Amino acid sequence: MKTVTVHDAKDLRIETHPAPEPGPGEVLIRMQSGGICGSDLHYYNHGGFGTVRLREPMILGHEVAGTVASLGPGVEGLTQGQLVAVSPSRPCGACTYCQNGAQNHCMDMRFYGSAMPFPHIQGAFRELLVADASQCVPADGLTSSEAAMAEPLSVVLHAARLAGDLMGKRVLVTGCGPIGLLAVLVARQAGAIDIVATDITPFTLAKAQNIGADTVVNMAEDPDGLQAFTTDKGYFDVHFECSGVAVALTAAVPAMRPGGTIIQLGLGGDMTLPVQTMTAKELIIKGSFRFHHEFPLAVKMMQTRRLDVSPLVTHVAPMENASEAFDLASDRNRSIKVHLSF
Quick one: fold of 156-287?
Answer: Rossmann fold (3.40.50)
Residue 95 in this model has a pLDDT that exceeds 80? yes
Residue 58 in this model has a pLDDT that exceeds 90? yes
Q: What's the pLDDT tens digit per position in 171-189?
A: 999 999 999 999 999 999 9
Query: What DSSP state is assigned to residue 121?
Result: B
DSSP 321-340: GHHHHHHHHT-TTT-SEEEE
Residue range 317-330: average pLDDT? 98
- Under DSSP, is residue 52 helix (H, G, I), strand (E, B) or coil? strand
Closest CA to 49 of 268, 287, 323: 268
Model confidence, pTM: 0.96
Rg (CA), the chain: 20
Q: Where are the alpha helices (DSSP H) in the chain?
A: 38-46, 96-99, 144-148, 150-163, 178-189, 202-211, 246-252, 275-280, 294-303, 322-329
Give the Cα separation of 131 and 65 in Å (integer).
11
Residue 61 in this model has a pLDDT that exceeds 90? yes
**pLDDT at 215 (0 to 100):** 98
Kind of pairing between the strands at 256-264 and 58-59: unpaired
**pLDDT at 7 (0 to 100):** 98
Residue range 284-298: average pLDDT? 97
Domain residue ranges in the chain? 2-149+309-341, 156-287
Q: What's the pLDDT tens digit per position in 232-257?
A: 999 999 999 999 999 999 999 999 99
CATH superfamily of 2-149+309-341: Medium-chain alcohol dehydrogenases, catalytic domain (3.90.180.10)
With vertex at residue 284, the alpha carbon angle to CA 172 and CA 108, rounded to the nearest 5 degrees, is: 95
Residue 268 in this model has a pLDDT that exceeds 80? no
Residue 49 in this model has a pLDDT that exceeds 90? no
Residue range 111-132: average pLDDT? 96
Q: Where residue 271 falls among pLDDT bands split at 50, 70, 90?
A: confident
**pLDDT at 270 (0 to 100):** 81
- Given a contact cutoff of 8 angstroms between Cβ atoms, the answer to whether 104 and 289 are in contact is yes
Q: Give me the chain's average pLDDT, please.
A: 96
Residue range 303-307: average pLDDT? 96
Strands (E), the chain: 2-8, 11-16, 26-35, 48-49, 52-53, 58-59, 63-71, 83-86, 128-132, 136-138, 170-174, 194-199, 215-218, 236-241, 256-264, 284-287, 313-318, 337-341
Q: Do domains 2-149+309-341 and 156-287 have the same CATH topology?
A: no
Residue range 217-246: average pLDDT? 96
**pLDDT at 50 (0 to 100):** 82
Residue 314 in this model has a pLDDT that exceeds 80? yes
Residue 192 in this model has a pLDDT that exceeds 80? yes
What is the sign of the dihedral through the CA atoms of 11, 17, 22 and 23? Answer: negative
Give the Cα separation of 322 and 14 in Å (integer).
8
